[in-house]
Structure 1
Amino acid sequence: MSSSFQPENPLASALLVGVDFGLPHFDGELEELGLLAQTAGLNPVARITCKRRAPDAALFIGSGKADEIKLLAEETGATEILFDQSLSPAQQRNLERHLGLPVNDRTLLILEIFAQRARSHEGKLQVELARLQYLSTRLVRRWSHLERQRGGIGTRGGPGETQIELDRRMIGEAIKRTRERLEKVKRQRNTQRRQRERRDTFTISLVGYTNAGKSSLFNALVKARAYAADQLFATLDTTTRQLYLGNTATGAGRSVSLSDTVGFIRDLPHGLIDAFQATLQEAADADLLLHVVDASNPNHPEQMAEVQRVLAEIGAADVPQLVVFNKLDALESERRPLHLADTLEVDGRPVPRVFVSAHTGEGLSALRERLADVAGVSGAVESGLTPDSAAPLQELPA
């Protein structure tokens, strides 16, 4: 399959487009979309936003704004248009005809990043399933062998009805085969979980918004060398290591199973959530979730809400949590907390919170002590995660 998306081309430049429909999470600066574009290997050369009450059925943004985007693309030399929202197949086709340039949306951008980053057999299967499901609705443009005219957005010729039907059947069969292979992976994971349960292994999963520092915290805790970088979706594949917690409240040292999982992001494509069900099941089946938050990001409340939404979607909303506010070293002195441990209200219930810096190691000993207490006490989730021993809630200054 082919795509107009060219992440390997160093000259690929993108014009970013965002439409404000009055939703509270609208990113007026298109900062996150710009980071996604850079992660995928594109160079954002311009950004443009507009306000609408509802999407235009044909062009999503209306013909006037489309003309403005076309002019700006010509002035800046943009070779691709990226929308911060999801486009329907018809809107995407109409925009490409109107603008004369490839048009992609946030969904495909995330899919492309996942396709670049997946390393394990399971990860590649999961991404491939999501891509197949997405591209199946965009046969006319996405499958190169359907085009009579090579390159560009065809103005002459086009696919025949019979060929499209044949390819739809081909994609359907590919989706079925990929799902069957993922089911096999899921059964293998279930077998591994049952083995851990028989060994009475306490399992902890790291979850959080992308680029919150999960992999850095994972490496700091278990002295591992999992890939970590200051970029979105640095790692996709679940990594599990044993974490030795030293002496616990029961008087004996104990090891727990710690897993680093894929990061979440706003408007994570549903196809990816479905495809990564096998991996995300690690979070749903964990005894404890370490919800890692980038304390230095001013939008962390919205990011936390998005993580909670995805956790609910995968059936992990009731798993006990310990919130870890990471990147303490990146906070200005006036925004630093008075205590490294307190409680935070999440979805109406108090949840313990610990402030740490995976980079400098500050707060890690307090986090280890809390985890040791939780893992070492019988009925740990209930008795070890009570907020009674923590400091009261403290708000970070804006």
Structure 2
Amino acid sequence: MSVPHEFTPEYVNANSPKEALLYADFFTSGEPWKSIFANNPWLRPPDTTKPLEFSDGQYWDTTIGRKHPYWSQYDLPQPTKEIHQMRADLREWGFCLIEDALSGDQCKRFYERLWEQSEGERAAGVAYDSPTGQMVNTLVNKGRCFGQCIEQDPAGVQAGPVIEQIMDETLGPGWICHSFLAIGSDPGGYPQGLHIDQGPLLPWMTAEAPALVNTMYIPQDVDEVNGGTLVIPGSHRILIEAGNAGEVGQLPPAINLEAPAGTVMLFDGRLLHGTGTNRSERRRYVAVMSNVKAWMRTQENWVVSVASDVLAEASPKLKHRMGFSALTYGATIEGFGLGARGQAGDVFGDIEPFRAAVDSGTYERIRELSPDSPREDLERSYTVQVAMDRVKAAREAGRQ
């Protein structure tokens, strides 16, 4: 029995001109980025193949709020222990700063474990370097203090009850951790392009509450010298006002975050922000935990439930539809997939080798490391590095 002509790819393509497509104008609007860059050319990210320049008022060439000629006239968020002030700051400015969220001992333990881990991963040859600096992924595997932060255990983060309350109010009870990783700003590194962390929803813009809220742990003093996080205060409200696929006009300037060690910054997923430029002589770390509503994942956990033989015979399209194609905002594993396109057949995002390693009992996760770790740990064949080498080989072979 022949397939009806109307179901053939040729017929479907011939009858799908751009003007006939559902929601075409909405999904191809390019907003809000199209208008943001048109009206704010100083927000264009730098070319990471060229030396970074500090001129022409680019967003990374800035300072902290109290020193900024524009922002110094405003009462921007300051570290506070008062929950009512946190609520007001988060609503008005898109972020709030929790004073002494980590006690002195908690902050010291957090920072030392993070720094040891970054140096250990460097020694083991598995350091994850980005244009901004070294990142440390999947923190939950790399120290008990990090797991305590995810569950807001007061033993690890003394402000845990306050953080949980604010999260419940913004995301609703039952929210989950989307990711938890440390972002390094290395001396001489590049700034991140300013972005919003609920960007995957674009061109939709949630009008009331955010769909994502970040908890950022600050284990060392940050300022304009060592690459304090760049933010445009109140930019979340500008994007809300623009609405779904709406145009954005001129934006106020960006500033570097200023905060002492032990502060936790909560910020709205619609706030424009990015890693700052480090002009000191030592790497600066913050650790960012993104949180989302519990339903923002596949209903079926295909990565676990699909049978090995079914997966082995699956086409690239089927594997993609089941979530085996990672992309920056979803399904990354130990940093693998950050920067991937999330498309069928994309080697950089193919997480099937990780599932195969789990099935065979050979998955080697990066655990707690330091430069003084046993040689066998520093020389271990870690699964994520094997996957990265596979991507490198594919690129060199011209398949990517």
- The structure with the greater share of residues assigned to strand is 1
TM-score range, shorter chain: under 0.3
Query: What TM-score do you get using the length of structure 2 for normalisation?
Result: 0.25
